């Protein structure tokens, strides 16, 4: 940020954009926060005049007008390009994300991404998430394109609100329709579960399932996959209802989005049991039979993908698992493998890049919030201390909707930590997970103070985000196969 002599105001230099006869820019006004400045014709914008300059508040209406005036600010589809989702629970991290993405050649960013669960906990709407990303993209002058992910959609109503806001990427989460008990059910139980599937929604009959899959070889680039009766029944019993739900959501999206470009991801990662390669094959073939189009799929991989920490499990087993899933995605797509709960999985990134050849989508969310807390610990330790204390207070309750294994007894005790030691708390496994899953409680109690501090120290905030995402994106840069 500097003071541009043209305006005698603190202008973000990368945000100065000239389009036709109009110049747009973002400035930081100490009395008003950030505002949009416009010189020249400004039809459709709301603001107050200061001579030739129109100063506009960062409202939803002005965001809509700006996206109309500068088309590169509208979310786009990314196709099969290597991509990374940069969730932003505070609405302040996009400049840091963009600064890192600039250095990661070939990685397409999704800069607006938040699940409906996160919207509820942060008190933000899908429109606010998209608009916050828009202002961040303008601030950094990022004109290469970005996506907007309506994450973990479960109902048509969720799809409606995000589609109306302008999202381009829709992650369908049919986890509630996955029957995890089928993973270990006895053969007689499997037969009963399959008989009870919604066959009308699946547009087939049980006999069709057998004819379609038994006795057939499914060719991969190296080797073949075969179903026997038990593996077929297990796959159908476990995922049949999920397939029907995804098809229903896909058709609903197609009906409301009309000719607008959009793409869809299928996510079955938030389930209790891993997705076998045969189960992945069943999902892919059934979705394709039902006319569903998707750009990426997130299976439940082996091992544990917990929030905000590295992979827990056998890396050799994971490497073999990723190779099998990637081979199916190439043979029956192509589509990308998606890595959910993907933040901080530094040991996994080289493995999934090798397995997919860059046909991969990395999804992160809470890690940006954690790095914001790191910045707060550096510049305002008096605020970080009560946030950390709250994590001990709320962890047992807030962890219930997450797969985490942190133990509060192992986390560093606040009374023994000097101010200089606070940033390192974010590197300790248990403390990091506790702070991750208690974000909703922290925002409810300290949200205004958190945002005020980060706005006042935005350089420290952006630097923390940028450095962290540099580590995330290094393995993916230059690996994509293009759109």
pLDDT for residue 3: 46
Catalytic residue among 132, 140, 151, 173: 151
Catalytic residue among 132, 265, 398, 433: 265
CB atoms within 10 A of CB 117: 15
What is the C-alpha separation between 3 and 9, in angstroms, rounded? 6
User: What average pLDDT does this structure show over 283-304?
Assistant: 98
| Per-residue pLDDT tens digits for 111-157 | 999 998 899 989 999 999 999 999 999 999 999 999 999 999 999 99
Please state the pTM of the whole predicted model. Answer: 0.96
CB atoms within 10 A of CB 449: 16
Based on the residue annotation, tell me whether 48 is a catalytic residue of this protein. no
pLDDT for residue 232: 98
Q: Which residue has the tokens 């129109």?
A: 54
pLDDT for residue 5: 46
The C-alpha R_g of the chain, in whole angstroms, comes to 24
Using the predicted structure, report yes or no on whether residue 77 has a pLDDT greater than 70.
yes
86 contact partners, CB below 8 Å, separation of at least 6: 93, 94, 97, 101, 109, 110, 111, 113, 364, 368, 469
pLDDT for residue 163: 97
What is the C-alpha separation between 478 and 480, in angstroms, rounded? 6
Lowest mean pLDDT among 8-12, 50-54, 66-70, 284-288: 8-12
Using the predicted structure, report yes or no on whether residue 24 has a pLDDT greater than 80.
yes
The domains located in the chain, with CATH, are: 2-69 (no CATH), 73-179+219-366 (3.20.20.70), 381-456 (no CATH)
Using the predicted structure, report yes or no on whether residue 25 has a pLDDT greater than 70.
yes
Using the predicted structure, report yes or no on whether residue 236 has a pLDDT greater than 80.
yes
198 contact partners, CB below 8 Å, separation of at least 6: 240, 241, 244
Based on the residue annotation, tell me whether 306 is a catalytic residue of this protein. no
Question: pLDDT category, 6, cuts 50, 70, 90?
Answer: low
Question: pLDDT category, 483, cuts 50, 70, 90?
Answer: very low
pLDDT for residue 117: 87
Question: pLDDT category, 481, cuts 50, 70, 90?
Answer: low
What is the C-alpha separation between 402 and 310, in angstroms, rounded? 15
What is the C-alpha separation between 183 and 234, in angstroms, rounded? 7
What is the C-alpha separation between 199 and 442, in angstroms, rounded? 45
CA angle 230, 236, 237 (to 5 degrees): 85
């Amino acid at each position: 940020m500097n003071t541009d002599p043209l305006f005698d105001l603190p202008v973000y230099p990368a945000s100065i954009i000239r389009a036709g006869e109009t110049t747009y820019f973002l400035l930081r006004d100490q009395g008003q926060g950030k505002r949009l400045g416009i010189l020249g014709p400004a039809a459709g914008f709301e603001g107050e005049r200061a001579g030739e300059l129109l100063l506009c508040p960062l409202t939803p209406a002005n965001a809509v007008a700006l996206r109309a005036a500068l088309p590169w600010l509208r979310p786009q589809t990314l196709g099969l390009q290597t991509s990374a989702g940069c969730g932003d629970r505070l609405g302040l991290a996009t400049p840091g994300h963009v600064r890192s993405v600039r250095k990661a050649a070939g990685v397409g960013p999704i800069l607006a991404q938040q699940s409906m669960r996160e919207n509820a906990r942060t008190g933000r709407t899908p429109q606010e998430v998209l608009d916050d990303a828009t202002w961040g993209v303008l601030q950094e002058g990022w004109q290469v394109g970005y996506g907007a992910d309506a994450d973990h959609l479960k109902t048509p109503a969720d799809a409606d609100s995000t589609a109306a806001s302008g999202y381009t990427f829709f992650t369908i989460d049919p986890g509630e329709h996955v029957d995890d008990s089928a993973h270990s059910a006895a053969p007689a139980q499997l037969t009963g579960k399959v008989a009870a599937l919604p066959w009308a929604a699946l547009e087939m009959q049980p006999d069709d399932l057998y004819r379609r899959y038994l006795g057939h070889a499914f060719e991969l680039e190296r080797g073949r996959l075969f179903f026997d009766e038990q593996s077929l029944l297990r796959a159908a019993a476990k995922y049949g209802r999920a397939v029907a739900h995804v098809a229903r959501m896909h058709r609903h999206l197609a009906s409301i989005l009309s000719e607008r470009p959009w793409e869809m991801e299928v996510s079955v990662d938030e389930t209790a049991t891993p997705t076998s390669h045969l189960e992945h094959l069943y999902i892919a073939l059934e979705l394709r039979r039902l006319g569903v189009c998707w750009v990426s799929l997130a299976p439940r991989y082996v091992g544990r993908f917990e929030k905000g920490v590295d992979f827990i499990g056998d890396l050799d087993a994971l490497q073999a698992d990723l190779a099998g899933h990637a081979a199916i995605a190439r043979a029956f797509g192509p589509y990308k493998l998606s890595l959910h709960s993907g933040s901080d999985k530094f040991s996994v990134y080289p493995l999934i890049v090798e397995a997919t050849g860059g046909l991969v989508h990395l999804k992160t969310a809470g890690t940006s919030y954690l790095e914001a807390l790191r910045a707060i610990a550096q510049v305002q330790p008096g605020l970080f201390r009560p946030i950390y204390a709250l994590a001990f207070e709320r962890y047992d309750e807030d962890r219930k909707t997450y797969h985490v294994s942190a133990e509060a007894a192992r986390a560093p005790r606040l009374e023994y930590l000097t101010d200089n030691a606070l940033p390192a708390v974010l590197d300790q496994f248990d403390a990091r997970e506790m702070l991750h899953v208690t974000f909703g409680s922290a925002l409810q109690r300290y949200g205004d103070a958190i945002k005020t501090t980060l706005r006042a120290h935005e350089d420290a905030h952006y630097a923390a985000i940028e450095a962290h995402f540099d580590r995330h994106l290094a393995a993916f840069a230059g690996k994509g196969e293009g759109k």
